[in-house]
Amino acid sequence: MKNLLGSSIKELENVALDYGQAAFRGRQIYNWIYNYKNKKKNIDQIEILPLDFRKRLKDDGFKISELSLQEKNLANDGTLKLLLSTVDNESIECVGIPTEKRLTACLSSQVGCPMDCKFCATGKEGLKRSLKASEILDQILFIENEMNRKVTNIVFMGMGEPLLNIDDLLLSIRSINEDFKISQRKITVSTVAVPKMINKLSAKSFQTLGKCQFTLAISLHASNQKIREMIIPSAKNYDIKNIIYDCKQFVKDTGRRVSFEYLMLSGVNDKLEHANELSDLLRGFQCHVNLIQYNQIDDVEFKRASFKNLQLFQSRLFNNGVAVSFRKSRGLDKNAACGQLRQNTRN
């Protein structure tokens, strides 16, 4: 199967030339694919192209979109969760999160996830496979088509561990930046942290993209190694102090500050002593902490920390000199919030 999604202008010009067409036909395909107003994403529907050219492309297996819409759920706050099917009958979820001035696409990088974080629904399904770059990009097209708006921001916070699919992740970022015209500075890559992969991410970013300007977000969720291992089983392979060391090196290599995601779990990591411990861990480091309220999933005993504890925790970090903010959950009533995505929708 030959998917044209993610192809550069030059690559599409070459496709046109290979079929005896003028190079501008490739540019026509390019402009059609990346214009969110074009709802038709099948080759034979690009009516600006000669009929014979369209037929030959289709007969030879060229496609723009491989995914299909299985289900959609619109939350009260306007957040849209889509369940999409792949050609091999797997399912992935992605989310469109609108505000007045922006539309953020929360994208999946894998079918399922191997990390098995105890607070996350995706890990309950296990890992089926990684997504191709075209499948990652296709999620953007579906969100734009369904919401009739151009996506302005990207967060890789959907299903999967992006750093375990690093090559296709970076290929998709290249296209998001160059083809979808979304600045790298509006892209966030969220990872639970995999040994040796943070350094690899920065090195391969410069190789593949020529620069590394996206935001790296670490799903830390703990102030010490013991707590982290309790809620993130894979943490036993990557000491929290080593994570911080590698993040400091990432900042040196890229000039970009690192964000740390911190899910507030009642009685687990939400005490002021944890705030002090986290402050000591991050002191003197160019970073930012996002505090997140826990979103309940089935078969998990964790409880959401009280809003009072969250406020006290935030104030303590701030007073200790740590940049901190509170990230409000979106799409909670449709299981579209952080940590709630999974292969099979459960209403």
Q: Give the Cβ contact number of residue 20 at 10 Å.
A: 10
Q: Give the Cβ contact number of residue 245 at 10 Å.
A: 12
The tokens of 259 are what? 């964000």
**How many DSSP H helices and E strands does the chain contain?**
10, 14
Indicate the pairing of strand 91-98 with strand 103-106: antiparallel
The CA dihedral of 126, 128, 133, 137, to the nearest 10 degrees, is -70
User: Which residues are designated catalytic?
Assistant: 93, 338
Q: Is 76 exposed, middle or buried (0-12, 13-18, 19+ CB in 10 A)?
A: exposed
User: Alpha-carbon distance 286 to 269, whole Å?
Assistant: 22
Q: Give the Cβ contact number of residue 320 at 10 Å.
A: 15
User: Alpha-carbon distance 83 to 68, whole Å?
Assistant: 9
CA 165 → CA 28, 108, 130, 189, distances in Å? Answer: 31, 11, 6, 12
User: Alpha-carbon distance 159 to 143, whole Å?
Assistant: 16
User: Hey, which bits of the chain come out as E strands?
Assistant: 2-3, 62-63, 68-74, 80-85, 91-98, 103-106, 110-112, 127-130, 153-156, 187-191, 215-219, 258-264, 287-293, 324-327
User: Alpha-carbon distance 189 to 154, whole Å?
Assistant: 9
Helix (H) or strand (E) holding 33: helix 23-33
The CB-side HSE value for 65 (13 A sphere, CA atoms) comes to 23
Q: Is 340 exposed, middle or buried (0-12, 13-18, 19+ CB in 10 A)?
A: buried
Separation of first and last alpha carbons in the chain: 34
